[in-house]
Amino acid sequence: MRFLRNAAAAAVLFFGPSSSLWAQTIEDMAGQMVLVGFQGAHVSDEGVRAVRSQIAAGTIGGVMYLRPNISSLAAVRAMNRGFRAAQPWLPPLIALDQEGGQIRRLTEAVGFAEIPSARQIGRGSLAEARATYGDLATRLAALGFNLNLGPVVDLDLNADNPIIARYERAFGVNPVRVAQMAAMFIDGHRAAGVGTALKHFPGHGSSTGDTHEGFVDVTDVWQEVELAPYRRLVSDGLADMVMVAHIFNANYAGNGDVQLPASLSPEWIEGVLRDTLGFEGVVISDDLEMNAVREHFDLRETIVRAVLAGNDILLFSNTAIQDPGLGAQIHAILVEEAEIDPAFARRIEESYGRIVALKARLAGKG
């Protein structure tokens, strides 16, 4: 399997020529699958110290910033230095949503120059988009970030969409144009050493609901054309990661009695994304604390279903309960399930391989 061979090479680059990918324990591997939000905005805050300790212990593989985590650019730099120093042998993913327009964590209020929305940028030239996103990524990298959760490649199919159209997050309705604009986003970030994540697979632009709020059924509105940007970007080697949404489509629900959103559906992730579209990279879930998931599955079932469906990284915003120990709790569940289910353990090994390969590329070693 190609990604495992690449990951083994990446492991040598990270751990040295005498190291083996498979010398890592299941505990090490499982930790890399956990990416969590945190509380606090300064290096001395309890929540910041908690996730830094979890990074050092290998129980989480990354953190995600939200607006409350940002008090100043100096404080962000200091926290990110601490996160990186906690695990120098396999640096954590340090992520945020900095799409532009209304979807941003770093703002002018703290001295960070903002950029227009995707819809506005999509009306301009490709060269202008490349310059804008390249500058953005350079500034993110200077602050210590190595993952921007974008670009949005949803198609602007529903003018009344409450989460995509409302916030001008889509580049447009034409899938070729959307893919071209997304390529400019990706190219600009790669040049700065910042990873990206195509979202929201398999397409959120046609929906009439918001998965933050609850169950969203797109069976009657989703269109096959919504896969086109993914197909093109994957084929062109421009997909670092793909983020899977919590939308439900009865036509891709398998034969089970449970209505599974795409993020928990093997049919979508292993079937469409991997087998049909040929994506071999890292799959990351959308925030698994959104009500579309949280109202229907408890934490353990969410984790088990997410892993078996094919997610490599489990994203939890840590906003529902705001528990400094959430990352360690998720990690413990992963390890416990791996100990009783060989298939689950194999999924963790596969995910670890993909994540290590991605981190190696972000570190300039792949």
Query: Any idea which residues carry the catalytic annotation?
Result: 212, 286
Distance CA 244, CA 285 (A): 5
CA-closest candidate to residue 171, choices 147, 193, 154, 188 = 154
Helix (H, G, I), strand (E, B), or coil: what is residue 82?
Answer: helix
Strands (E), the chain: 34-37, 62-64, 93-96, 147-148, 195-201, 241-244, 282-285, 314-316
User: Taken in order 38, 42, 44, 45, is the CA torsion positive or negative?
Assistant: negative
Q: Under 8 Å CB-to-CB from 109, ≥6 apart: which residues?
A: none
Residues 95, 66: contact at Cβ < 8 Å? Answer: no
Distance CA 27, CA 13 (A): 21
Which string of b and e fits 100-125 if b means at least 16 CB within 10 Å? bbebbbbeeeeebeebebbbebbeee
